[in-house]
Amino acid sequence: MRPVSHIGRAAEPDKQMLRREFIAVRNRLTADDVREAAGALAERALELPELAHARTVAAYVSVGSEPGTLALLDALHARGVRVLLPVLLPDNDLDWGSYAGEDSLARVQHGGKMALFEPTGTRLGPHTVTEADAMLLPGLAVDTRGMRLGRGGGSYDRVLARLERTDAHPALVVLLYDSEVVERVPVQAHDQAVHAAVTPSGVHRFRRGA
C-alpha cells in the first residue's frame, strides 16, 4: 500500500481514496484470517499498561473484516473493567452504554450505513466517554506520527473534540492489522494523534506532535 502525504483541502479526497484501498485489502481477508488476528490482537492489547491499570475503557464492537474486538472486550469485562460501547446517534455523534457480555449487544441498522452492534442497556450520555482511562479506537491505518485514518463518518472526531474540551486525557489506542501501520496518511487541521497502535504482531507507540 503506497502511503500518501497531503494536508489542507486536498486531504479529504486523498483520504477517501486511501480508505477505499485499505477497505479493499480487508475485504479479501477470510473469516479464519479475521478470527486468528483477533486472538493475537487481544493478547497484545491486554499487555498494555494503559489497559492493565484502567478502571473504565471506551471501546467498540468490530464488524465485518475489521480487526476483531470481542475477545478483548470479554477479557476486559472479566477483569472487572467497566467497558463503554458506542451508540450511534442520528447526527453521527456517539452516546455510550455498558458492555455486559455478548448477550448485551443488539445488531442495529442505521439507514444505509453498515449495521453495528450496540449495547442494549441504559444510555449513559455522550459525555460519559470523558470518564474513560483508555479509549480503543477503530481505524483503517495509522502513520509514524500516530495520525489515524478513520472511516470518515466524523463520529470519533466529535468524541476526541469532546475529550479535549473537557480536559479529559485517556490513552488513545487504535486497533489495526499489521499492514495498516504506514509512513504517512493525509491529515486535516482537526485530526488528533493517538498514543499507540496495537496490531496482531505487536504494539507501536507514538510521540504525539512529532
Burial class (CB in 10 A: 0-12, 13-18, 19+), 135: buried
46: amino acid identity, one letter: L
pLDDT at residue 11 in the model: 62
Candidates 48, 158, 58, 145; CA nearest to 99 is 58
**8-205 CATH, one of 3.40.50.10420, 3.10.20.600, 3.30.230.80, 3.30.1490.20:** 3.40.50.10420
How would you write the pLDDT of the chain (210 residues) with one tens digit per residue?
444 333 334 466 688 999 999 999 999 999 999 999 999 999 999 999 999 999 999 999 999 999 999 999 999 999 999 999 999 999 999 999 999 999 999 999 887 777 899 999 999 999 999 999 999 999 999 999 999 999 888 899 999 999 999 999 999 999 999 999 999 999 888 889 999 999 999 999 997 544
Tell me the domain boundaries of the chain: 8-205
pTM value is 0.90
Residue-level pLDDT at 114: 75
